[in-house]
Amino acid sequence: MKVLIDQEQISSRVISLGRELANEYQHRPLTIIGILAGSVVLLADLIRAIDVPHQVGLIQASSYRGKTTTAGALHVNLDFMPDIKGRHVLLVDDIFDTGKTMQTVLAQIRELQPLSLKSAVLLWKEEASEVELTPDFHCFKIPNHFVVGYGLDFNNEYRHLPFIASLEGTDLV
């Protein structure tokens, strides 16, 4: 495993994004929605870095993907979606890879007619994008490698690592 982004780099970037978002949403009713399970580490740190009042909610999106890359049909579960009537929504995910998850979830939330809708991700694999859309806010752009840590998993392992690392051959078995 090779560390790409260490704990300190993540922490200072999340704090600066928090400030940016606090400016953006000052005096506007904000709800931050995290996508389970990859966003939970970022969500926990980011909401504490956004020094304006806001509500927090969670939804689930699972893509029944294979071991590392191939994504199947995306299943979005809005059962725990809070009421966003009259509110601005910021959707938070761990990574913008092909962008299909973000695109699908944004479309479903848009139907609920929030006052505005934007997206924020920890990582953006710009070269991997398969959609027109780009994330409104991101912490780091990374090359098209499979990474884990800080919420990101491989077969549900490694989410707890406090840094972002790329997996090497022997980690993938």
149 touches Mg ion (CB under 5 A): no
100 touches ligand IMP (CB under 6 A): yes
Restricting to residues 26-55, which ones interact with ligand IMP according to CB under 6 A?
38
Of 23-31, 50-58, 109-117, 140-148, the window that binds ligand IMP (rule: CB under 6 A) is: 140-148
Handedness of CA 49, 52, 56, 60 (dihedral sign): negative
Which of residues 137, 140, 146, 163 is near ligand IMP by CB under 6 A? 146
Closest CB 54 distance from ligand IMP, rounded Å = 22
Closest CB 144 distance from Mg ion, rounded Å = 17
Q: 8-14 contacts: CB < 8 A, separation 24 or more?
A: 9/140, 10/45, 10/122, 10/139, 10/150, 10/162, 10/163, 10/164, 11/45, 13/139, 13/140, 14/42, 14/45, 14/46, 14/49, 14/139
Backbone phi, psi, residue 43, to 5° = -55, -50
Active site residues: 97
38 touches Mg ion (CB under 5 A): yes
Closest CB 26 distance from ligand IMP, rounded Å = 29
Partner whose binding site includes residue 95, from ligand IMP, Mg ion, none (CB under 5 to 8 Å by kind): ligand IMP
Residue 35 · residue 101 · CB < 8 Å: yes
Interface residue list for ligand IMP (CB under 6 A): 38, 71, 93-102, 146-148, 152-153
